[in-house]
């Protein structure tokens, strides 16, 4: 599998606009950063890295970035979880 770091933008109607080098690529795995428009993606096919918005990654670098990107998402706290009609009852 080949891994890439892809910088994308957001267009009208909240749609992703990918760089030309990755249009039509079928991704097997993707992980987005929580707040930045960056994703790490893996494919059995091939993309065209341009050194700017599409960068090829080694498997180790990709897995490290996937782990880092997952950590950017907010953690769900117990007090934020709502039971069907209110907080979870304490036993």
Residue ranges of the chain with per-residue pLDDT less than 50: none
Whether the predicted model's global pTM rises above the 0.85 cut: no
pLDDT of residue 49: 85
The values of phi and psi at residue 5, to 5°, are -105, 125
CB 42 within 8 A of CB 58: no
3-state secondary structure of 4: strand
CA dihedral 22, 5, 62, 32 (to 10 degrees): -100
pLDDT of residue 85: 63
Sign of the C-alpha dihedral computed for residues 20, 21, 24 and 30 taken in this order: negative
Q: Over the stretch 48-61, which tens digit does the pLDDT of each residue have?
A: 888 889 999 999 99
Q: Over the stretch 35-51, which tens digit does the pLDDT of each residue have?
A: 999 999 999 988 888 88
Angle, CA 39 vertex, CA 8 and CA 13 arms, to 5°: 45
């Amino acid at each position: 599998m080949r891994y890439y770091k892809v910088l994308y933008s957001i267009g009208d109607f909240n749609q992703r606009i990918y760089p030309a080098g990755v249009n039509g690529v079928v991704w097997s795995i993707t992980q987005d950063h929580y707040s930045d428009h960056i994703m790490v993606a893996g494919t059995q096919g091939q993309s065209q890295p341009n050194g700017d918005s599409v960068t090829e990654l080694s498997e180790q670098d990709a897995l490290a970035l996937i782990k880092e990107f997952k950590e950017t998402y907010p953690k769900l706290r117990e007090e934020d979880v709502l039971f069907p009609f209110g907080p979870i009852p304490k036993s």
